[in-house]
Structure 1
Amino acid sequence: MTLTRTTKLERGRGALGPALELVHTGRAPTRAVLTAELGVTRATAGAVAAELAALGLITVDAHPVAAEGTQGRPSHRLAIDPAGPVVLAAQVHADGFRAALVGLGGRIVATAPGCMTVGADPAHVLGEVVDSGAALLRETRRRCVGAGLAVPSAVAEPEGTALNPLHLAWDAGAPVREIFSGCLAERDIPSGLSGGPATGWTANDVNLAALAEHRHGAGRGAQHLLVVGTGHRGVGGALVSHGKLHTGSSGLALEVGHLTVDPTGRPCHCGGRGCLDVEADPLAFLEETGRRPGPEVSLLEQALELIRAEYDTDARVRAAAGTLIDRLGLGLAGLVNILNPDRIVLAGLHRALVDVDGARLRGAITERSLWGRSGELPVLPCSLRHNSLVGAAELAWQPVLDDPLRLLPA
């Protein structure tokens, strides 16, 4: 019996997804590595790589060249196809949004920021988000295979509702995923998988930043990665354990912003006082320096610019950074005691704090945590510029990673 291409693909279905994920995350740069990671024969790995290339997802070096000084037959190099499909990814925050087209490998193909007042109706800003993404698709003429959205709120699963958008005017429980999917359908954003409109996937922005850093950034290779960060307002955290986000029973785990670090501190939106959310975010930093925040750019940009321009020359800026480092260190020490991570990655303003005085931050964690005293816990700045956007793209790419054959025409 002669096997058709489709029959061969069906027989190899189980290996295509794992193989694509290995190339997508940079863990299989050559066909030899792919063979070892999959635990298959060289011929099988070659066939799998060829099928992924035929789907327009990866490229296979047709004429491999051995590195200078090496012996033996060179292995074919594998890479993400730069002309391959993309997903629409977006992030909404207190100062507006950013939309992007993201390919496999976490590569941002095109991006467009949108500065606007985010009002009480999420449908308004999400409509603008999708309009911006649609414009990028028209300009680039890229094939879209899905859409993902990062929001500054815990997102309940499986409903996809934003339960506590504290720094937005949205009602608690806003059906963000449903609204996002509706906007995609109204604007005919295709899924590239079923012929219908793209499904809108939604999750918390810091959860998605953690997922992106684990797959493509400073968290790559960690078994238990803790990510903590502050963007435009508030503080969030996430844990990636054995490659999977720890989201709890309904998607609401790791609300680290509501750890108390100063019982007599600022009132918090949650009803408490002195939470990380209000003691270690950009607004808290600006207040500690005695500066009045301006409306020209986001609070995060104002705080980062202050550190860049005046940390070395202004004692009050250095003191404010030290105060936030001590508060952050206290919170991280508690998390280390509870979660025992093998790596911590800091994002947003916290990335800048570890850059300017990482020794002070590591000292604070070591002093107050059992597991930090070994001195073997890396505390690193994040390495992806738009990690929440890349993480939102990971949501949309996941169905393809699970089953690349979904890209075949029906």
Structure 2
Amino acid sequence: MDGKATPTRTRLERGRSALGPALELVHTGRAPTRAVLTAELGVTRATAGAVAAELEALGLIRVDSRPGAAAGSQGRPSHRLSVAEEGPVALAAQIHADGFRVALVGLGGRIVATAPTRGTATADPAQVLGEVVEAGAALLRAGGHRCVGVGLAVPSAIAEPEGTALNPLHLAWPAGAPVREIFAERVRAAGLAGPALTGNDVNLAALAEHRHGAGRGAQHLLCVATGHRGVGGALVLDGRLHSGSSGLALEVGHLTVNPEGRPCYCGSKGCLDVEADPLAFLTAAGRAPGPEVSLLKQSSDLLRAEYADPSVRGAAEELIDRLGLGLAGLVNILNPDRIILGGLHRELLAADPERLRAVVADRSLWGRSGGVPILACTLDHNSLVGAAELAWQPVLDDPLGALSRSGG
């Protein structure tokens, strides 16, 4: 060897810092071809080719060997880029009042495999988290996939940097439960590769929707959603979750929307959390909740199947008005360029979109002149996908380093 670097090696070294940005562009669908990748990265075609080849060698993306052009386009055909379907996965888990679900999620937000919803979340976080990790490890073994990390979505505000669940009201867990510490210990004990990360379920839903769903392209994205119980919110600014100084920003569930309303678990009354969640809808419709399926499914099914019933329609209008009041206040404070709604709120929007938009416009300072778009979330399991995004983020930041640390 004469010590001289080959042209390909030189290009790769120049573009090595672009590996993460390039992977994120393919991951979020913003670089479907090598030509787009070249333009987005602001590098030469040769450097972009070297970067794409390295990501392909790492098993993260696929570069089509036969360049093609879109119908009617002009110019030189470009190689198509896509995430590697047989590449590594993140293990994702979501805990809610009715149990938990685990899934394997690849790049691109693609759910590779899921296990059925399990059990009821008991009051012991260590027991529940142990069962979550056990189910996830079994799913990984069954698929034989390489794992880059593990992410967990929890229906509670997660304080940073400690990773404690401050208000897991609907799980009956003790306030301040050290969820991240327990989860990481269970993951290590199971011998799973990669970091173990945790976050609030609606925050993670918003992150997933921003990268892969209804929030794609928004600069200031507000997400409001019901879980199986309660209401949560999240804000994504320029592609990053805004979590505040200690992870506790946007506790929208405790906005007062009915001063004379129902008592809330937080000690107040008339909060969005108890005025616009699945239990509130069933109660307003005069329907007793049953134990067979989750409250979210019961309320969504009722809204879809019996909207013509005056009691159901009246309950829907009541919740839409409460939700609209809360959204208007958030619009006044945050000035988002897009609002997306999940859970039961997605169904309420579908049932009467004009009513909800009218309430927000009437109550917000800029509603009549600006008209903030209000859209439905489009990912069916967005909190799970968001939990996987947590685990994928170190790989997006540093593909070579993260895969070497996780044994890839």
With the shorter chain as reference, the TM-score category is: over 0.9
Paired with 2:73 and 2:122, the residues of 1 have a C-alpha distance of 60
- Tell me the SS of whatever aligns to 2:320: helix
TM-superposition CA deviations, 1:364-409 (whole Å, max 9, x none):
0000001211253110000000000000000000000000002146
Residues 113-122 or 157-166, more deviating = 113-122
Q: Residue 109 of structure 2 aligns to which amino acid in structure 1?
A: G
Paired with 2:42 and 2:70, the residues of 1 have a C-alpha distance of 25
2:69 is aligned, of 66, 70, 83, to 66
- Tell me the SS of whatever aligns to 2:228: coil
Partner of 1:24: 27
- Tell me the SS of whatever aligns to 2:116: strand
Partner of 2:174: 171
TM-superposition CA deviations, 1:340-359 (whole Å, max 9, x none):
00000000000000011010
1:204 is aligned, of 200, 207, 211, to 200
Partner of 1:277: 273
1:295 is aligned, of 278, 287, 291, to 291
Partner of 1:310: 306
Unaligned 5+ runs, structure 1: 192-198
| 1:135 to partner: Cα distance | 1.3
Q: Residue 156 of structure 2 aligns to which amino acid in structure 1?
A: S
Partner of 1:89: 92
| 1:136 to partner: Cα distance | 1.1
- Tell me the SS of whatever aligns to 1:236: strand
1:129 and 2:125 correspond: no
1:258 is aligned, of 254, 261, 264, to 254
| 1:220 to partner: Cα distance | 0.3
TM-superposition CA deviations, 1:255-275 (whole Å, max 9, x none):
000000100000001111100
Q: Is the 8 A contact 1:91 1:99 kept in 2?
A: yes
2:378 is aligned, of 380, 383, 387, to 383
Partner of 2:82: 79
Residues 82-91 or 372-381, more deviating = 372-381
TM-superposition CA deviations, 1:117-140 (whole Å, max 9, x none):
212211111111111111111111
| 1:10 to partner: Cα distance | 5.2
Sequence identity percentage: 75
1:142 is aligned, of 141, 145, 149, to 145
TM-superposition CA deviations, 1:17-43 (whole Å, max 9, x none):
000001101111111111111011111
Paired with 2:397 and 2:71, the residues of 1 have a C-alpha distance of 37
- Tell me the SS of whatever aligns to 1:56: coil
Q: Is the 8 A contact 1:234 1:257 kept in 2?
A: yes
Q: Residue 292 of structure 1 aligns to which amino acid in structure 2?
A: A
- Tell me the SS of whatever aligns to 2:229: coil
Paired with 2:72 and 2:16, the residues of 1 have a C-alpha distance of 38
Paired with 2:27 and 2:110, the residues of 1 have a C-alpha distance of 10
Q: Is the 8 A contact 2:11 2:50 kept in 1?
A: no
Partner of 2:326: 331
Q: Residue 78 of structure 1 aligns to which amino acid in structure 2?
A: L
Q: Residue 63 of structure 1 aligns to which amino acid in structure 2?
A: R
| 1:12 to partner: Cα distance | 3.1
Paired with 2:122 and 2:50, the residues of 1 have a C-alpha distance of 52
- Superposition RMSD on alpha carbons, in Å? 1.5
Paired with 2:348 and 2:289, the residues of 1 have a C-alpha distance of 19
Unaligned 5+ runs, structure 2: none
Paired with 1:157 and 1:115, the residues of 2 have a C-alpha distance of 28
Call closer, same or farther: CA 1:393–1:6 in 2, change over 3 Å: farther
Paired with 2:71 and 2:340, the residues of 1 have a C-alpha distance of 36
| 1:68 to partner: Cα distance | 3.1
Partner of 2:162: 159
Q: Is the 8 A contact 1:106 1:212 kept in 2?
A: yes
Partner of 2:114: 111
Q: Residue 333 of structure 1 aligns to which amino acid in structure 2?
A: A
TM-superposition CA deviations, 1:294-346 (whole Å, max 9, x none):
0000000000110121113x111011000000000000000000000000000
1:226 is aligned, of 222, 228, 238, to 222
- Tell me the SS of whatever aligns to 1:114: coil
| 1:6 to partner: Cα distance | 8.5
TM-superposition CA deviations, 1:29-63 (whole Å, max 9, x none):
11111111101111111110010000000000111
- Tell me the SS of whatever aligns to 2:171: coil
1:50 and 2:45 correspond: no
Paired with 1:306 and 1:391, the residues of 2 have a C-alpha distance of 28
Call closer, same or farther: CA 1:10–1:169 in 2, change over 3 Å: farther
Q: Residue 366 of structure 1 aligns to which amino acid in structure 2?
A: A
Once the two structures are superposed, the pairs formed by residues 341-360 of structure 1 within 5 Å of their partners are 341-360=336-355
Paired with 2:247 and 2:378, the residues of 1 have a C-alpha distance of 25
Q: Is the 8 A contact 2:279 2:295 kept in 1?
A: yes
Residues 109-118 or 227-236, more deviating = 109-118
Partner of 1:38: 41
| 1:69 to partner: Cα distance | 2.9
| 1:112 to partner: Cα distance | 1.1
Number of positions where the alignment pairs a residue of Structure 1 with one of Structure 2: 402
Residues 181-190 or 61-70, more deviating = 61-70
Q: Is the 8 A contact 1:178 1:200 kept in 2?
A: no
Q: Is the 8 A contact 1:13 1:405 kept in 2?
A: no
Partner of 1:402: 397
- Tell me the SS of whatever aligns to 1:184: helix
| 1:185 to partner: Cα distance | 1.2
Q: Residue 196 of structure 2 aligns to which amino acid in structure 1?
A: G
1:322 and 2:317 correspond: yes
Paired with 1:10 and 1:121, the residues of 2 have a C-alpha distance of 50
Q: Is the 8 A contact 1:226 1:341 kept in 2?
A: yes
| 1:65 to partner: Cα distance | 2.1
Q: Residue 334 of structure 2 aligns to which amino acid in structure 1?
A: L
Call closer, same or farther: CA 1:319–1:375 in 2, change over 3 Å: farther
Paired with 1:272 and 1:7, the residues of 2 have a C-alpha distance of 63
Paired with 1:166 and 1:216, the residues of 2 have a C-alpha distance of 30
Q: Residue 364 of structure 2 aligns to which amino acid in structure 1?
A: S
| 1:114 to partner: Cα distance | 2.9
